[in-house]
Structure 1
Amino acid sequence: MRRTMIATACLLLAAPALAQSIGEKTGVNSALGVSPSTADFVKQVAISDMFEIESNKLAQQKGNAAEKTFATQMVTDHTKTSTELKGLVSGGKVKVELPAALDSSHQSKLDKLKGTSGRDFSSEFNSMQVSAHKEAVDLFERYAKGGDNSDLKDWAGKTLPALKHHLEMAQDLDKNSAPTVGEGKK
């Protein structure tokens, strides 16, 4: 019992040092519709943008025509949101440190994409894009509703329609490349 209490106390003391809260990292906040902390939001957005830019640069090289068109739009749009986020942070409106590299989860997804080609690439890429944009829409919706930094909250609300459009585009990519035999319309 004493060991459990000591371990719990250590976790509680270390929690502020962690770059992302346990609730956000495990998806509990998303399931409950709880707004992420400003630090979690900024970290996730920065990593998401880095992943989008890098994965879509791969698609510009390896993808089919539709994926290349999509990828060009994603690189442009996510470079823009990344620049806007950096501006909010460097301008002092948001007091959070931006991550300099992908986290291990996103890096492993990117590595997986690098090792594929042809239909395997398309299948992985399209699935990752749908998933990433669903997560981004959820994250931005939660922060726009309940975020604690008004400038960042406004920016999240203004950025949300573009992310919803990206999700629709990703879902269209996924539909167009998926086998249609035996599938019904949604």
Structure 2
Amino acid sequence: MSAQPMKTPLASVTAVILAGGQGRRMGGCNKGWVDYRGRPLIAHAIERLQPQAEQLVISTNTDIDRYRALGFPALTDSHPDYRGPMAGIAATFAACPGQTLLCAPVDAPELPLDLGQRLHHALEASPAPAAIAHDGERLQPLFALLRPTLAERMQDDLAQGSLAVGRWFRDIGALTVDFSDQPQAFANINTPDDLDTARPKP
């Protein structure tokens, strides 16, 4: 089945675009500003994720003013060393207490239009603390919906160092949600070759 956009945003849910990656495989550039089909990746992420939640924030440690100029809060994490996307999620929990978080990375320009809806539907029927996507071949743990009850544990675990995202979600008992009907929605732009492959051919 094809993804359908949400008719109404999820209440008490904050969408967070994870744009804090170091972009090593993209030559060290900020991936959010990489051009994809005539617009930066961040524009695609906002367009697809914003309608799915009550509010939207951008998690980043670079180009902060440039991101804020888009009209959304740009949140930095509290760790002087790079501790990965989980640090950005933890910073969003701290800035948005009591909110459920809908997460997606900035480098997936075709992310599911029904990501929040499907994760929320699955989580409502389960006592699990979080729900993460599975594209039919592999887990996609950065496409996630997290209950606010996870905020304290995440902060405590991050205090010990960087977290392996998939392992952390497994350890907390996250629910896996099947998105095998739209695996292409999880294709990400990690390298210049990925970008060339994704660009329309003349």
TM-score, structure 1 normalization? 0.26
Higher strand share: 2
TM-score, structure 2 normalization? 0.25
Higher helix share: 1
